[in-house]
Amino acid sequence: MPLTDRLFNALRKTRTSLDRAFQTLVRCRISPETLEELEELLLAADMGFEVVEAVNDTLLKTRPPNPSLAVREILLERLSDSQLAYELPAGPTVMMVVGVNGTGKTTSVAKLAAYYRRQGRKVILVAADTYRAAAVEQLRIWSERLKLRLVCNEHSADPAAVLYDGLQAMLAGDYDLAIVDTAGRLHTYDNLMVELNKMYDVVRKRFAQLQISSLITIDANLGQNSILQASQFARRVPLDGAILTKFDGTAKGGMVFPLYRELAIPTAFVGIGEHLDDLYQFDANQYVESLFEVD
């Protein structure tokens, strides 16, 4: 099944309940009371207060005959700033994948490797999660499946040292994209955040010729707390985009909006399953369409 169809399926729950709310609005007059159902649904889908306020204001002010169309436009407009779209730098690049524990970093690293290899990039993987032996093993299995070079060092507890080795190997070989798996960390653990900074310093100071691009993985099921976590990460390290993981099986498909509007983090990819090709490159138009087209 094409990825767009699978995104459409993943958003089914959100879409059908939104549609029900729009039907109510068409049947009854648009008023603060009748808007309540729609408001609750938008919040339950994690679209955030900014979206809810804009929807309320516009619908109350203009009372459009087709509220669904009006809301579709509001949502599209909110994602249309192309300056904020994610793009991987063209030259030799270090892609850091960071995020809270269990949000899908290692799986996403493998999916990204497959994705960018298809785009013609020469990919090398770096296993910089030195906390768990199983973490390196997990990425090794993916690297073998993908037939990609993996740099790891089971004997070093310092992820910055592993990263250094990985980037040396990148420059020595014919690679132009190093994808780095990092350990899961909570933004509240200061020493782990300092460690992450140290990794960025390795790239900036020792490999100044390489570009850095960082993606944060966010589990779509975790709700508003993820926004707080992402904002804390963003204060400590540069974030260029988000991978919303576990979109399959969630009714919370709206995180894209607060991430973009409140934190200026564009959604770069959406994870829709556990397999290598279950990675959808985010497209705002397709995404908004998927929230509205009624099946």
Ligand X SMILES: Nc1nc2c(ncn2[C@@H]2O[C@H](COP(=O)(O)OP(=O)(O)OP(=O)(O)O)[C@@H](O)[C@H]2O)c(=O)[nH]1
- List residues near Mg ion by CB under 5 A: 105-106, 135
Q: Is 184 one of the binding residues for ligand X (CB under 6 A)?
A: yes
Q: Which does 245 bind (CB under 5 to 8 A by kind): Mg ion, ligand X, none?
A: ligand X
Give the nearer residue to Mg ion in terms of CB position, either 106 or 267: 106
Q: State phi, psi for 29 to the nearest 5 degrees.
A: -70, 150
Q: Is 272 one of the binding residues for ligand X (CB under 6 A)?
A: yes
Rounded CA gap, 215 and 240, in Å? 6
Tell me which of 19, 248, 283, 289 binds ligand X, using CB under 6 A. 248
Q: In angstroms, what is the minimal distance from the CB of 79 to ligand X?
A: 21
CA 128 to the chain's CA centroid:
20
Rounded CA gap, 195 and 168, in Å? 20
Tell me which of 93, 103, 153, 214 binds ligand X, using CB under 6 A. 103
Q: Is 130 one of the binding residues for ligand X (CB under 6 A)?
A: no
**What is 241-254 written as a DSSP string?**
EEEEE--TT-S---
Q: Is 245 one of the binding residues for ligand X (CB under 6 A)?
A: yes
Q: In angstroms, what is the minimal distance from the CB of 274 to ligand X?
A: 4
Give the nearer residue to ligand X in terms of CB position, either 127 or 151: 127
Cβ neighbours of residue 247 under 8 Å, at least 6 residues apart? 7, 10, 11, 220, 253, 270, 271, 272, 280
Rounded CA gap, 225 and 27, in Å? 35
CB-based contact 109:99 (threshold 8 Å): no
Give the interface segment with ligand X, choosing from 10-18, 96-104, 159-167, 226-234 (CB under 6 A).
96-104
Amino acid at 210: L
CA distances from residue 138 to 103, 132, 152, 166 in whole angstroms, order as listed: 15, 10, 12, 17
Q: In angstroms, what is the minimal distance from the CB of 184 to ligand X?
A: 2
Give the interface segment with ligand X, choosing from 4-12, 29-37, 105-113, 250-258 (CB under 6 A).
105-113
Q: Which does 182 bind (CB under 5 to 8 A by kind): Mg ion, ligand X, none?
A: none
Q: Which does 91 bind (CB under 5 to 8 A by kind): ligand X, Mg ion, none?
A: none
Burial of 157 (0-12, 13-18, 19+ CB in 10 A): exposed
Element holding 150 (H helix, E strand) = strand 150-151
Tell me which of 160, 271, 284, 291 binds ligand X, using CB under 6 A. 271
Rounded CA gap, 196 and 160, in Å? 8
Tell me which of 102, 173, 223, 238 binds ligand X, using CB under 6 A. 102
Number of residues binding to ligand X, judged by CB under 6 A: 20
Helix, strand, or coil (residue 212)? strand
Q: Which does 67 bind (CB under 5 to 8 A by kind): ligand X, Mg ion, none?
A: none
Tell me which of 78, 105, 121, 187 binds ligand X, using CB under 6 A. 105
What does the binding site for ligand X look like in residue numbers (CB under 6 A)? Answer: 99, 101-107, 129, 135, 184, 217, 245-246, 248, 271-274, 278
